[in-house]
């Protein structure tokens, strides 16, 4: 359906999921900054706990981000013809969601691998 209530619901849903995406990525960045600080402290840091935080935050950020992006895509696909014809509608329908997911995976994955390398000297 494409009533005004449907359009309003899609807008509110998009805003809510956008906020979820923002806070998920922010939490991931804060955890990574905190673990980087702990790693710089050097000897005596709880390596296993820091490793769990690094891996856990990576998994959380990926799941949260991918789910939000999938919801954005589904929300865009639910638009009626009138909404699809708008500039925002056109942009959402052709957005490169796969590239966005790949960037999140690579950025947070690279940060995590670098931190683990600093602690465990894996490579």
Q: Return the domain boundaries, the chain.
A: 4-120
Cα–Cα distance measured from residue 123 to residue 117, given in angstroms and rounded to the nearest whole number: 7
How many whole angstroms separate alpha carbon 37 and alpha carbon 42? Answer: 9
DSSP single-letter state for residue 1: -
pLDDT reading at 1 higher than 70 = no
Whether 28 shows a pLDDT value over 90: the answer reads yes
Its pTM stands at: 0.93
The pLDDT assigned to 84 comes to 94
């Amino acid at each position: 359906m494409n009533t005004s209530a449907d359009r309003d619901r899609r807008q509110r849903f998009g805003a809510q999921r956008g906020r979820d995406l923002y806070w998920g990525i922010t939490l991931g960045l804060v955890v990574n900054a905190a673990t980087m600080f702990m790693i710089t402290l050097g000897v005596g840091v709880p390596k296993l706990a820091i490793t769990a935080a690094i891996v856990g935050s990576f998994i959380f950020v990926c799941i949260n981000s991918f789910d939000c992006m999938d919801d954005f895509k589904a929300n865009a696909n639910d638009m009626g013809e009138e909404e699809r014809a708008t500039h925002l509608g056109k942009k959402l329908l052709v957005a490169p969601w796969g590239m966005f997911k790949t960037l999140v995976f690579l950025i947070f994955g690279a940060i995590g691998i670098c931190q683990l390398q600093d602690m465990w000297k894996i490579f």
